[in-house]
Structure 1
Amino acid sequence: VSSAAIAIRAEITATLSSKKSPAEHCLQAATVLYARAGYFHERIAELFELLAANRESGNGYACLAKHADGSDTDQTGTVAFYQTHCNLHPQDPTESDEAVAAIIAAGYPKLTATAGLTVAEQPAGASNSHRMFFSTTGSEKNSSTQNSEALPWAGGYFSANTGHSAQPAQAIHSLTDADKPQSAKTRVRPYIELWAAYKDYLTCNTEFGKPYDPPAAGTLAASSTVKTAIKNQYLNMKGAYDDDNDKKLIEPLLKDLFKDDDTAYL
């Protein structure tokens, strides 16, 4: 009994020691995921605020939504109308057991759009020339005073180049490890960084999210840690277990202590 206890204690100690470094990494992974999500939500919130703020006193431009009167200009639309249509009301987080759907290990499955706003999606008329943020072609970019910086939208960050030439789409609905380097898909880095942090979290959750299972008899019998513990503490012999010199002495003990399908030692 004492030799079994010595062996099991040694194996469990070794197992726990091996998890110390991964545990520290996973604590960092959880922090990084939280920070990335917070940063990204803030970026999107800033975009919504920017769109909502683009309501001139005379023409009332607003958001990437139709105006209250259905046209591309509106002098009477209320702030409440645009808050509703531009989704500017934050949702209070609630505890839920629902599976995560917006982001998964394979990417962002719902964000399949690979283009900015098309001509058909833009309000009719030319009076919106200073309120269009997204485009896929030069002809759809209808003002020289637009934002040249990338702004978040649906499938990624879409904006025209400074010269109004189209930028290629950088899809995020399906991502792989090849997308992780900083040089890959540079215009959608916030999406990539959040996804990479989430994948890291999933790995940690798999490793530490299940109960600890006691080592099986076969695992104990094959463990060099167990063999060394029996040699040092039960047989009072110094040094690590050596298969060539110690096998004949220790193997019989292991067979008696840890038999297949025998859990009595626990």
Structure 2
Amino acid sequence: MMLDSPYIYIIGRMGLLLISTIILVIFVISCIAYQIRIIARINKISQIREDFSYAMVHDMKTPLTTIFTALSFLHSGRLDDKPETKEKFFNVAKEEADRLLTLTNKLLTISKLENKKMKMECEKIALEPMLVRLTDKFKVKSHKPVSFEFDLQTPEIYADAEYIEEVFSNLIDNSIKYSKERVDIRISSSRNDLYSIIKIYDNGLGISEKDQRSIFNKYERAAAGSRSRRKKASGFGLGLNFVQQVIEAHKGKIFVNSIEGEFTEFIIYLPLMVKEL
């Protein structure tokens, strides 16, 4: 039998095999690409864990060293005839111990909130006394001039007093930490039909659009880590994640509005009244 085109005949006979081979090659390439993505994700997670561990150890080492030094001086007796200096060393040790305890509690709280093991004990809270208490504390603690302005059109909110105060404390602390030589903070409250709305505005360093997309992520390095290294501010990305977790546990929402180099504003929406959280 004579064939006009043996190549077409051979391809026709092997067509099914060729198609099967092409499908298999595509499948293998897809598997390799998927494995590469998994490896890249694992490497990213490992890097985040490594950076977090380093930041955690660094942030714990500093207060522990300070506490150890203060206790050594107190135990040595060299300050027994200097009551004012002795009291100063004692207060430093106490403040650093409080800092470690706050960090530990924040980690435990985030873990409980993520696993839905924490219930918010909500009640009506007067905003002004809480905010005055917080602003007085930060005025004393801050090493730079800080001014606060209130515009509280809604005097009360419905929330867990302990955790919502910690939320405000974190946001005010960030405003001061990531600011210029002087920081002006404005806190306002209003309401609509469903929510109490609290806004915390500062004239600080601002947050880039890129960082705004991930600023609430746990162990977020772009917003917390890199800004910390540039601006010499401590922390490793737990504060804003804690804030978001607490607000969401209240069935609320939080947003950030910022222009880098100009201002940052956090906007919190808390339900007016929720029977059960």
TM-score of the superposition, structure 1-length normalised?
Answer: 0.32
Q: Which of the pair is proportionally richer in helix?
A: 2
Q: Which of the pair is proportionally richer in strand?
A: 2
Structure exhibiting the larger radius of gyration computed from Cα positions: 1
RCO (CA 8 Å, sep 6+): is it higher in 1 or 2?
1
TM-score of the superposition, structure 2-length normalised?
Answer: 0.31
